[in-house]
């Protein structure tokens, strides 16, 4: 499975012969992992297999929001206008990129950011200062990172500690014109507070691959209309959680997870 649907106690109780759950992604917050463990069901994710795909999409969004490519494309194709003076942007070079969560994805984002001559700062509570140094980044606290960054890229899991991490209070401490990129999970950014900040022009933009309510209603199986007040904001860009949606990442994740299935079921290569 991927990051949906939710696997709760009811589903786990109904799965009488379930031995394992293979998550073809990093996050497992959609699974009741503790209850699965109680029932002897092993849960595996695929850390790192989609790191490059997510990192490349992150840089894509940074470029799109910095160079106004999406509204410019719309203006030409839909409005049939050809006015380059409406879409003056800014370069990534020399800007400070703050990376929240410096695991495989975050480190790859930092590596790509350095190729654009960006200054890399990062937050990760599980790393030592020398580990940041080894990646050419400066480690710092969440509060400090939010204050100094021109771009803040989120790559932390959704937990009680990270939920609503970006809210009215933290957004107020950001630099003028700074941009937030949520490439992790909906709920880390308080969308109501972000909407207010964008409408009032307090920050430069918000780019996201996730939303709090992305599986509303019947989720992936229905035809529910998906809407958000954020859609009114010109400096908000969104994609439907496609960070790992590359043929390359799908191949790598598939090989990894089927290997885990083989291990759990005790199959040798000839039996697979």
Q: Choosing from 30, 107, 185, 191, which is the catalytic residue?
A: 185
Please give the pLDDT value at position 94.
98
Question: Do 9-48+246-271 and 51-238 fold alike per CATH?
Answer: yes
SS3 151: strand
155 is catalytic: no
Contact between residue 179 and residue 194 where contact means Cβ atoms under 8 Å apart: no
Q: Which fold has domain 51-238?
A: Rossmann fold (3.40.50)
Buried b (16+ CB within 10 A) or exposed e, 199-214: eeebbbbbbbbbbbeb
How confident is the prediction along the chain (272 residues), in pLDDT tens digits per residue?
A: 877 778 999 999 999 999 899 988 877 888 999 999 999 999 988 888 889 999 999 999 999 999 999 999 999 999 999 999 999 999 999 999 999 999 999 999 999 999 999 999 999 999 999 999 999 999 999 999 999 999 999 999 989 999 999 999 999 999 999 999 999 999 999 999 999 999 999 999 999 999 998 866 555 556 667 789 999 999 999 999 899 889 999 999 999 999 988 888 887 555 54
Alpha-carbon gap, residue 240 to 220, rounded angstroms: 11
| From the candidate CATH numbers 3.40.190.10, 3.40.50.970, 3.40.50.720, 3.40.640.10, the one assigned to the domain spanning 9-48+246-271 | 3.40.50.720
Every domain of the chain and the residues it spans: 9-48+246-271, 51-238
Is 214 annotated as catalytic?
yes
Is residue 241 part of the annotated active site? The answer reads yes
Give the whole-angstrom CA distance, residue 228 versus residue 9.
Answer: 30
- Distance CA(157)–CA(172), nearest Å, equals 23
Nearest partner of 53 among 151, 155, 158, judged by Cα: 155
Tokens of 203: 């920050």
Instruction: State the pLDDT at residue 218.
Output: 56
Closest by CA position to 95, among listed 57, 63, 123: 63
């Amino acid at each position: 499975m991927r990051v949906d649907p939710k696997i709760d106690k009811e589903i786990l109780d109904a799965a009488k012969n379930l031995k394992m759950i293979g998550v073809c992604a990093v996050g497992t917050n959609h699974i009741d992992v503790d209850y699965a463990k109680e029932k002897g069901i092993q849960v595996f994710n695929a850390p790192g297999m989609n790191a490059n795909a997510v990192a490349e999409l992150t840089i894509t969004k940074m470029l799109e929001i910095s160079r106004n490519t999406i509204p410019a494309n719309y203006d030409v194709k839909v409005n049939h206008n050809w006015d380059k003076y409406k879409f003056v942007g800014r370069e990534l070079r020399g800007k400070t990129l703050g990376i929240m969560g410096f695991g495989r994805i975050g480190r790859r984002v930092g590596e790509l950011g350095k190729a654009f001559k960006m200054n890399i700062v990062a937050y990760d509570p599980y790393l030592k200062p020398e580990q940041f140094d080894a990646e050419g980044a400066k480690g710092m606290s969440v509060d400090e990172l939010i204050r100094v960054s021109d771009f803040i890229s989120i790559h932390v899991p959704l937990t009680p500690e990270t939920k609503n991490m970006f809210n009215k209070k933290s957004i107020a401490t950001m630099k003028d014109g700074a941009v937030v990129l949520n490439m992790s999970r909906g709920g880390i950014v308080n969308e109501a507070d972000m909407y207010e900040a964008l409408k009032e022009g307090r920050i430069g933009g918000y780019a996201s691959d996730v939303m709090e309510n992305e599986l509303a209603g019947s989720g992936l199986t229905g035809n529910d209309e998906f809407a958000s007040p954020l859609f009114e904001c010109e400096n908000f860009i969104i994609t439907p959680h496609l960070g790992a949606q590359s043929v390359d990442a799908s191949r790598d994740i598939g090989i990894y997870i089927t290997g885990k299935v083989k291990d759990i079921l005790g199959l040798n290569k000839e039996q697979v």
